[in-house]
């Protein structure tokens, strides 16, 4: 296996390819996240076109989410062992071919199979896209900016999907929301060998037992949340899925401790800041996914907006997210992750508390615009900071596993948030009106944002010395360098 190429020994063309490489990787991340939400607006047209039942229609979204979330850890480890560019390109190719097949679907089963294949391709491509940033950009401001752009692309994807889905469905047909992936995906596959440097693979075997345990356990966990959102928490399949997930995920650490090449190295959990970043990502996505789900319903059912106007109504979220994210590379080296994430959590909580005041007579300007701006700014701070912290000082050859775990938190959090808020909405609506149910859902969302704030205050090491210096000599990831040292060095370059 060829040795890793030192940063200062790379050919000049790799150092000059940062712009195209970043556009390719961030574009791929945006594409994968967009596809989780782009079909939402098109679902009524899909139902009319292919004859889906009401129960089956939800699986147009769930088939993608289930495959994506369940296979992420396996996809990340495959990149660590085989080379991230190779696995990344293969994943995008599978995703693109499945998008074409889905656009041509002539029956419900055909479309669902294509959506599951899209999710499998996304699970291969997603971890590699973040891991490749580490092999393309040198430590310092350039990598910091690249991580910020990548994080924004992922966080904004859910909102962009709503807008793009509305445009394509209104101007063309539901098939366009799948066909649009084909030229973009084909371009990424063709350009990847030209602008991305391959990461060195590692000798070793796949951890088959660990891969099965984490894949089946993650899949059952995501399915349990999906089922709970659809049928409640007491159904036999829901309880069975959660029990199966609990058993497999409880066995997983014991399997990994014995594996020579574990699919998820347990030492990644040895850094307190990294664990806090994973938890922040889980809670943020739980709150954001539930908020977007019910705000979409409120804007259409109560305010009477059409799908296209609804999508555009969320654009301020993306604008605020981008504006806040630009400050994170400057704030982290100076203050460390704790105050940055705490500030983001406070903004998200303020936006969610504001939404608990919705009423049938509220307007977009008085009740929607302010909360989505606050939530967008908070998301920009938390999402970018969490990505920086999670990827700081990752041991060589484990960036794929770390990236996959971070993105798994996003997928599991999204399913958890929707399931919990739907449950609370149903209970509140039974004792009142549709808007009462939504107020109850947003109140549950406040709990997620409050948990974010508690995690930000208690889950990270305090910094001292003015530039993010750690108060002690704590080791991180086996390298003896804390994330704060990485940020300090980046700011000094």
Condensed to tens digits (0 to 9), the pLDDT of residues 14-59 reads: 333 468 888 899 889 888 888 877 887 787 788 888 988 766 777 8
- Whether 481 maps to a domain, the answer reads yes
* Phi and psi torsions of 260, nearest 5°: -70, -40
In contact, 269 and 224? CB cutoff 8 Å: no
Residues 318, 187 share a domain: no
- Whether 257 maps to a domain, the answer reads no
Asked if pLDDT for residue 186 goes beyond 90, the answer is yes
Domain endpoint, select from 182, 202, 222: 202
Residues 270, 157 share a domain: no
Range of the domain at 136: 17-202
As for how many domains the chain has, the answer is 2
- pTM for the structure as a whole: 0.81
Q: Are strands 463-464 and 469-470 parallel, antiparallel or unpaired?
A: antiparallel
Residues 271, 180 share a domain: no
Q: What mean pLDDT comes out for the span 449-466?
A: 82
**What average pLDDT is seen over the chain?**
82
Q: How many CB atoms lie within 10 A of CB 254?
A: 12
- Whether 446 maps to a domain, the answer reads yes
Domain endpoint, select from 202, 236, 251: 202
Here the tokens at position 17 are 């390819």
Confidence of residue 490 (pLDDT cuts 50, 70, 90): very low
Asked if pLDDT for residue 276 goes beyond 70, the answer is yes
- Whether 324 maps to a domain, the answer reads yes
Residues 278, 190 share a domain: no
Here the tokens at position 34 are 């967009």
CATH code for the domain in which residue 465 is found: 1.20.1250.20
Q: What is the predicted pLDDT for the residue at 21? A: 87
Lowest mean pLDDT among 81-85, 309-313, 446-450: 309-313
What secondary structure letter does DSSP report for 470? E
Asked if pLDDT for residue 462 goes beyond 50, the answer is yes
Residues 185, 109 share a domain: yes
Residues 278, 184 share a domain: no
Residues 287, 143 share a domain: no
- Whether 7 maps to a domain, the answer reads no
Q: What is the predicted pLDDT for the residue at 68? A: 86
In contact, 230 and 58? CB cutoff 8 Å: yes
In contact, 68 and 119? CB cutoff 8 Å: yes
Spatial neighbors of 406 by CB under 8 A, at least 6 apart, are 130, 277, 278, 281, 386, 387, 390, 391
> Residue 21 CA to chain centroid, in angstroms?
20
Residues 81, 180 share a domain: yes
Residues 323, 448 share a domain: yes
Asked if pLDDT for residue 357 goes beyond 90, the answer is yes
Domain endpoint, select from 157, 184, 202: 202
């Amino acid at each position: 296996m060829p040795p890793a190429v030192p940063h200062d020994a790379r050919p000049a063309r790799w150092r000059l390819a940062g712009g195209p490489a970043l556009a390719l990787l961030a574009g791929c991340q945006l594409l994968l996240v967009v596809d989780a939400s782009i079909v939402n607006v098109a679902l009524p047209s899909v139902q009319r076109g292919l004859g889906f039942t009401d129960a089956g229609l939800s699986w147009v979204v769930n088939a993608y989410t289930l495959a994506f979330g369940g296979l992420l850890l396996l996809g990340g480890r495959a990149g660590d062992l085989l080379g991230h560019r190779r696995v990344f390109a293969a994943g995008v190719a599978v995703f693109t071919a499945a998008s074409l097949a889905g656009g041509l679907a002539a029956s419900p089963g055909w479309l669902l199979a294509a959506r599951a294949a899209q999710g499998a391709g996304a699970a291969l491509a997603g971890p590699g896209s973040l891991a490749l940033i580490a092999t393309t950009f040198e430590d310092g401001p350039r990598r910091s900016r690249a991580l910020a752009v990548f994080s924004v692309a992922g966080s904004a994807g859910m909102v962009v999907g709503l807008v793009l889905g509305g445009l394509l469905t209104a101007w063309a047909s539901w098939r366009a929301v799948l066909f649009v992936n084909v030229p973009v995906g084909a371009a990424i596959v063709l350009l990847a060998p030209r602008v991305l440097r391959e990461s060195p693979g590692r000798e070793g075997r796949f951890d088959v037992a660990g891969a099965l345990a984490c894949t089946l356990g993650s899949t059952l966990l995501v399915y349990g949340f999906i089922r709970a959102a659809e049928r409640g928490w007491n159904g036999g399949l829901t309880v069975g899925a959660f029990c199966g997930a609990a058993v497999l995920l409880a066995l997983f650490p014991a399997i990994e401790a014995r594996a020579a090449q574990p699919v998820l190295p347990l030492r990644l959990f040895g850094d307190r800041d990294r664990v806090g970043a994973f938890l922040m990502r889980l809670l943020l996505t739980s709150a954001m996914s539930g908020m977007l789900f019910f705000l979409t319903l409120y804007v259409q059912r109560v305010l009477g907006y059409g799908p296209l106007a609804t999508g555009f109504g969320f654009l301020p979220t993306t604008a605020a997210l981008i504006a806040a994210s630009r400050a994170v590379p400057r704030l982290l080296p100076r203050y460390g992750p704790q105050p940055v994430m705490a500030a983001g959590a406070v903004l998200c909580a303020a936006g969610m508390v504001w939404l608990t005041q919705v009423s049938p007579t509220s307007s977009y300007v008085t009740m929607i615009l302010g909360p989505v701006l606050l939530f967008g700014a908070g998301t920009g701070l938390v999402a970018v900071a969490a990505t920086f912290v999670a990827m700081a000082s990752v041991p060589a050859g484990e960036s794929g596993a770390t990236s996959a775990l971070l993105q798994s938190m996003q997928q599991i959090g999204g399913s958890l948030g929707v399931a919990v808020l739907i449950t609370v909405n149903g209970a509140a609506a039974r004792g009142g009106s549709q808007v009462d149910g939504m107020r109850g859902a947003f109140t549950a969302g406040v709990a997620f944002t409050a948990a974010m704030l508690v995690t930000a205050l208690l889950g990270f090491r305090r910094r001292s010395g003015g530039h993010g210096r750690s108060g002690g000599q704590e080791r991180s990831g086996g390298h003896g360098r804390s994330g704060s040292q990485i940020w300090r060095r980046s700011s000094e370059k």
